[in-house]
Structure 1
Amino acid sequence: MLSSHSSAMGSEDSHLHMLFFPYMAQGHMLPMVDMAKLFAAHGARVTILTTPVNAAIIRPNIDDSVNLHIIPFPTAEFGLPNGCENRTFILSDDQRINFIKAISSLRHPFDSVLRDLNPDCVVTDMFMPWTYYVAAARGILRLVFHGTNNFSLCAKNAFERCCPLADEVESFILPDLPHKIEMLKTQVMDFNKLAGTPMEFLLEIFNEATEVEPKSYGMLMNSFYELESEYGSCFSMQQGDDKKVNKSGSLFSVAQLREMALGLEASRHPFVWVVRNEGNDWIPEGYEERIKDVGMVIRGWAPQLVILNHDAVGGFVTHCGWNSSLEGISAGLPMVTWPLCADQFYNEKFLVDILKVGVMVGSKVYTFDAKARPIVESTVVEAAVRRLMGDGLEAEERRRRAKELGKMAKRAMDKGGSSYEDVEKLIHELMVIKNHV
């Protein structure tokens, strides 16, 4: 969490009232819900603002300590199918554009909620920078929620200082970071190249987010101090101020799923494999019969946290989304890293090069298009799993480090731990402002 000073109009009761407004995508919404529950557990009065379909997703994950406030989502006005209120349901680029425009159109409902509920502060996603202006107009503090970590943000900022990269450049070193981090040009995306394309609005959102973040009261990140203390300091220095850090569709093509299946089978290590793809085109003939004694394929949703924390689980193959990465870290597991897009290649570097708990599968191309992504062959998948689960000194050291990080994560959340104390300090800081308005 980051904090700096501002003024706000507070509510009149003795508790801090925090309004959380998550971006409508699972990877953004669910960690913010967890964050809201954390503040509620520390005594804050918490309200989550969302839409009907997303409320149905959130409701089973909260208790009476968290209130839900629901506003309608303008699907019909933006040509979206009925119920298309979450990025999970987006099936095309046109729908993605209209979905983001629909979210931006929620300014007036958001303002009405601020008028009626009069919270002491709002927590909104980085992809909703417009919420800063609405909150500021009512004298309400805004905290930015980042669903990533300090390292990833530092790496992104460092990359932006390298842009544009010369055509002949294949790899480069991210400048001014505490560690030497080398990236392939194909593993990063220069969003300035979106200018003049149908996706230019994404560049506008990123630019606006960059503009309003320093004006916001601070930031909340889903991390903990001991995990990346150097990069908390690094990010603060990059920001150039005295803010303090407290902590769609199928992802893989049918061809890639087949190679993954064969690689897991050939590794001869027991596995649980969760796949979103509900069809059977990707399953090699006779596969489930062959692996029935060593493997389990789960289609659709699965309780990932429960699985990762089971004593029988010894490793985790992850796409390096930060939520999954942090769940793997907290479970004390070494990981096979398979990044695809977004902040995932930066997260892979953090897991492999800095924390030293990851084995790369060799993903080299940043793209949202599963069919455009180079295929990682089954032999490569097999080798990565065998390396992760092996008996050598390297594997043993990786497991030791992973277990220590898992213990560290638990200590951070316990009373007196760094994350526990950071939440307490932020609530106290916001209460001081509330009581002096």
Structure 2
Amino acid sequence: MASNDQNNSKSHSSQQKKVVVVVVPFPAQGHLNQLLHLSRLILSHNIPVHYVGTSTNNRQATDRVQGWDPNSISNIHFHNFKVPPFVSPPPTPNSETKFPSHLVPSFEASAHLRQPVAELMQSLSSVFTRVVVIHDSLMASVVQDATNIVNVENYSFISVCAFTWFFSIWDKVGKINPIESSHIIDVPSLEGCFTTEFFNFIAAQNEFNELSDGTISNTSRAIESPYLELIEKLTCSKKHWAIGPFNPLSIEKKDSKGKHSCIEWLDKQEPKSVIYVSFGTTTTLTEEEIEQLAVGLEKSKKKFIWVLRDADKGDIFDENGLKRHVLPKGFDERVKGLGLVVRDWAPQLEILSHPSTGGFMSHCGWNSTLESISMGVPIAAWPMHSDQPRNSVLITQVLKVGLVVKDWAKRDEVVDALDIENAGFDLDFDGLNLRSFFIWVFGFEGFVYDSVDEKDDDGDRILGSVL
């Protein structure tokens, strides 16, 4: 990774280059991961990427690129821009919604990136023939100045699935611009999915998304063609490119020195015998929910890997500031040999791609959902907030690649250990042969590049000549 000063001096001393991409992610882990994966794909076409963020967010990104191809690393340039200081309150697992409202201050602070991003775009526009800005749809206000620079193109990245995206549009314009389609079904309302504060944040960003030249989404027509077509009908003035999944479809096996301990444990298990339990990076469970989940997993007598990080544990301290025992007393000893509790980061893609993994109990975040589908692993759906309740409908009712653990309509009820036990698993249906399906249709990594080479109505390649 080259420093910004070196990059700019080298660029100005050379002849004008053709294309550069500026990536502006939203400061939430799932969003950051998607655009980091997309950056890697762009870099594979020998196109430089300028990745924008705060030092904290970029530190996470730089850690993740260390295993990349050296040529790719040398062509990605991280820009650490400052934002005003802010205070994030601790997670509140017993709040009315499970939406991570403690992260909202960081989201709002990111709006202050507008000026440095505008200066970066202006600087690059004098060096490159085309500057292509790919920004998270929740960062649209930050890149609004792109419209004032002649050779800058502005594409909005949609981080949710086409199904959920369509129904968010349909909520607004469906009655005004009705469409007859058997694919328009009943979905949960957004009540309880977000806080009012974040709804207002989204609304403010949507105004600036109107300025974009088109949209890019991390999905595939093979998965969501009907909903992509419905979106195109409702937004006929925009170009839309579905070029996912961004995650690798073939996971390289590591030698024993580079293996995570949970992968070593999986190596010793029978094929499709293990349920993987993880609820993402922004979910906070109550102590009672964690206890019921633990009891259910233990009673199911099914092998499991459970990722239980501090973010999941919520308020793990009592009123005297002493750490409480989150898991039932003696749980680790009783499930020894049956299950494994991972209390830090876990290599999710490696776990999902492992032949011993037979199911995934998930919050239904789109990253996790797409990774699970692409690895052929059925999903036990336990949606928590945001787009997850509608993603759950896509998983269980539309694609039929999973079952419900906890119905969103009963979100105010504590999940019962019996629900967990019973889910442990009716997923014994061979993953619906999902992985075989993906390999047959897409041919692993070739799928991504086939998507990139898809023709639009004008006969141009996706994203013009960017990729």
TM-score, scaled to structure 1: 0.78
Cα distance per residue 1:395-436 (max 9 Å; x no partner):
35xx234234432575374078532424992254459xxxxx
Query: What are the within-5 Å matches in structure 2 for residues 195-344 of structure 1?
Result: 199=197, 202-241=198-237, 243-247=239-243, 250-277=283-310, 281-344=325-388
| Structure-2 residue corresponding to 1:85 | none
Deviates more, 1:174-183 or 1:243-252: 174-183
Counterpart of 1:143 in structure 2 is: 155
CA distance in 2, matches of 1:68, 1:365: 45
The one-character-per-residue Cα deviations of 1:204-257 (angstroms, maximum 9, x if unpaired) are: 432343333343111111112211111111111121335243337652111101
In the other structure, the counterpart of 1:52 is 55
Q: How high is the sequence identity, in percent, across the aligned residues?
A: 24
| Cα pair 1:320 1:347 within 8 Å, conserved | yes
Cα deviation, residue 357, structure 1 = 0.7
RMSD: 3.1
Deviation for aligned residue 1:282: 2.3
Distance (Å, rounded) in 2 between the aligned partners of 1:314 and 1:190? 29
Q: Secondary structure at the match of 1:182?
A: coil
CA contact (8 A) 2:362 2:380 kept: yes
Question: Does the residue aligned with 2:434 lie in a helix, a strand or coil?
Answer: helix
Q: In the alignment, is the contact (CA less than 8 A) between 2:283 and 2:384 conserved in 1?
A: no
Are 1:426 and 2:438 counterparts?
Answer: no
Does the CA contact (< 8 Å) of 1:305 and 1:327 recur in 2? Answer: yes
Aligned length: 380
Please state how far the C-alpha of 1:366 moved relative to its aligned partner: 9.2
Equivalent positions of 1:374-413 (< 5 A) are 374-389=413-428, 395-396=429-430, 399-407=431-439, 410-411=442-443, 413=445
SS at match of 1:135: helix
Partners of 1:366 and 1:24 lie apart in 2 by 30
Task: Report how far residue 138 of structure 1 moved.
Answer: 2.0
Equivalent position SS for 1:314: strand
- CA deviations on 1:101-150 (whole Å, 9 max, x unpaired) are 32111211111211222361111111112134211122321111111111
Is the alpha carbon distance of 1:417 and 1:426 closer, same or farther for their aligned partners in structure 2, counting shifts above 3 Å?
A: closer
Distance across 1 between alignment mates of 2:155 and 2:294: 43
Query: In 2 relative to 1, CA 366–207 (structure 1 residues): closer, same or farther, beyond 3 Å?
Result: farther
Question: 8 Å contact 2:300–2:422 — kept in the other structure?
Answer: yes
Displacement of 1:178: 3.9
2:400 to 341, 352, 356: 356
Q: What stretches of structure 1 of length at least 5 have no aligned partner?
A: 1-10, 82-90, 164-173, 368-372, 390-394, 432-437
The one-letter amino acid paired with 1:16 is V
Residue range with higher mean Cα deviation, 268-277 or 13-22: 13-22
What is the aligned partner in structure 2 of residue 87 from structure 1? none
Is the contact made by 1:178 and 1:230 (CA closer than 8 Å) also made in structure 2? Answer: no
How far apart, in 1, do the equivalents of 2:355 and 2:445 lie?
A: 21
Matches within 5 A, 1:173-184: 176-179=180-183, 181-184=185-188
Aligned-residue offset at 1:270: 0.6
Deviation of residue 374 (structure 1)? 2.3
Q: 1:302 to 1:339 in 2, by over 3 A?
A: same
Query: Which residue of structure 2 aligns with residue 99 of structure 1?
Result: 106
Quickly say closer, same or farther: Cα 1:101–1:239, change in 2 above 3 A.
same
Structure 2 unpaired stretches of 5+ = 1-13, 90-98, 244-280, 317-323
CA distance in 2, matches of 1:374, 1:79: 31
The separation in 2 between residues aligned to 1:97 and 1:296, in whole angstroms, is 33
Given that 1:129 and 1:205 are in contact with CA atoms closer than 8 Å, whether structure 2 keeps it comes out as no
Task: Kindly indicate whether residue 37 of structure 2 is the aligned counterpart of residue 30 of structure 1.
Answer: no
User: Which of 36, 41, 44 is the equivalent residue of 2:44?
Assistant: 41
Partner of 1:84 in structure 2?
none
Could you tell me the TM-score, scaled by structure 2's length?
0.73
CA distance in 2, matches of 1:253, 1:188: 20
1:69 is matched with 78
Q: Which has the higher helix share?
A: 1
Q: 1:189 to 1:176 in 2, by over 3 A?
A: farther
The separation in 1 between residues aligned to 2:182 and 2:453, in whole angstroms, is 26
1:365 deviation in Å? Answer: 4.9
Partner residue, 1:121: 132
Q: Which has the higher contact order (CA 8 A, sep 6+)?
A: 1
